[in-house]
Amino acid sequence: MATGLSLCSEHVFKARWDFIVLVGVNLLLTSVFAQAPPDAHTAEVRTHVLKGEAEQKANHPDHALAEYEAALKLDPGNAEANVAAGMLSLMRGDCDHAELNFHVALKRAPASAEARGLLGVCEKRKGQSDALTLLEAGFGGIKDPKLRTLVGVELADYYYGRNDNEHAVPVLQTLIAINPDNTDLLFFAQHVYQDMADDTLNRLALLAPDSARMQQAVAEHLVNNGDLQGAIEHYRKALEIDPYLPGTNYELGEAILAVGHDPDSRAAARVEFQKAIHIDGDGPRVECALARVLDLESSRVKALNGLR
């Protein structure tokens, strides 16, 4: 079991870190700025903040930081400038400096989900005990999708590193809904789901090692590993224990067809699919399987007729 993407799992860590850098460098801070009280800033402070935002969007982080620092010289407690400056420090890996900015921002705007979430990122990377509370508060309140993704990845990683996949999965599902084509997130999710599957199989083996479901689970594992003959054997053992085990006849029929399309295999698969209809109902999946058998038989008949 991995101990966390940012701690021990090097290949998952690389995917996560690359993803955070790609997202974080171009974060839109407009949503953060909009939450600050308008009367908290002089015109000059506001000008520096807007210039900093423009420089950041133009991918000039040094110039952006200079503008935010100019704003902070005029108003050291300015929440939006502190969050923006802290974000740039965070992207450079300087969590110590970033934390100072986020703490100051929270004094001016204690309800800022952005400041809480980003502070949580720093606290997590430094191993601080309050990281989880901050990450959860930030993830739950941030609206900007890119910033929410950044904090959410760290929150899911926190859960994953503590083998708390039940909490990691909902966060990942939310992130994937926001970023459905992001390969790094999908890679991360695959690790979490695989760990959950392994844990579930281990529990099943402990609770009911001789059960029909255990035999079915072993068969499915063998199918995934390419051992179809072994899978067929375990599917049949499962049905010996429980002849009406839902889903098993269909899976057995599929395994038989995957091994071969000879007449005996087609006949055996057809029997299993018909049993599946009797036990599980007449759904599109089993209907497609039976249609495939008929198509194989029809093709064979046509081939034989062509040879005569």
Taking only the tens place, the pLDDT of each residue in 122-143 is: 999 999 989 999 999 999 999 9
**pLDDT value of position 35:** 46
Q: How far is it, in rounded angstroms, from Cα 244 to Cα 239? A: 7
The pLDDT of residue 197: 82
For residue 300, the model assigns a pLDDT of 59
pLDDT at 301: 53
∠ CA(131), CA(144), CA(179), 5° rounding? 90
Q: How many CB atoms lie within 10 A of CB 9?
A: 20
Number of alpha carbons in the 13 Å side-chain half-sphere of residue 291:
7
CATH number of 208-307: 1.25.40.10
Q: How far apart are CA 308 and CA 108, in angstroms?
A: 89
Does CATH place domain 10-182 in 2.40.110.10? no
pLDDT in tens, 140-186: 999 999 999 999 999 999 999 998 998 999 999 999 999 999 999 99
Largest CA distance in the chain: 95
User: What's the DSSP call for residue 39?
Assistant: G
- 163 by DSSP, 3-state: which? coil
Residue ranges in the chain assigned as alpha helix (H): 10-25, 30-34, 43-57, 61-74, 79-91, 95-108, 113-125, 131-141, 145-161, 165-178, 183-207, 212-224, 228-241, 248-259, 263-280, 284-307
Tokens of 23: 């997202």
Residue 271 token pair: 């029997």
Contact between 2 and 8 (Cβ < 8 Å): yes
Long-range residue pairs from 229-234, CB within 8 A, at least 24 positions apart, any chain: 229/259, 231/255, 232/256, 232/259
Does 208-307 match 10-182 at the fold level? yes
Q: Where are the domains of the chain?
A: 10-182, 208-307
Give residue 13's pLDDT.
Answer: 41
Q: Does the pLDDT of residue 16 top 50, yes or no?
A: no
How large a percentage of the chain has pLDDT more than 70? Answer: 83
The candidate with the shortest Cα–Cα distance to 3, out of 121, 197, 185, 160, is: 160
For the whole prediction, is pTM greater than 0.85? no
* Residue whose token pair is 């079991």: 1
Structure token digits, residue 122: 């720093």
d(CA 223, CA 269): 16
Residue 304 gets the label, from left (phi > 0), alpha (psi -120 to 50) or beta, of: alpha
The C-alpha atoms of residue 194 and residue 143 are separated, in whole angstroms, by 30
The total of other beta-carbon atoms located within 10 Å of residue 34's CB is 11
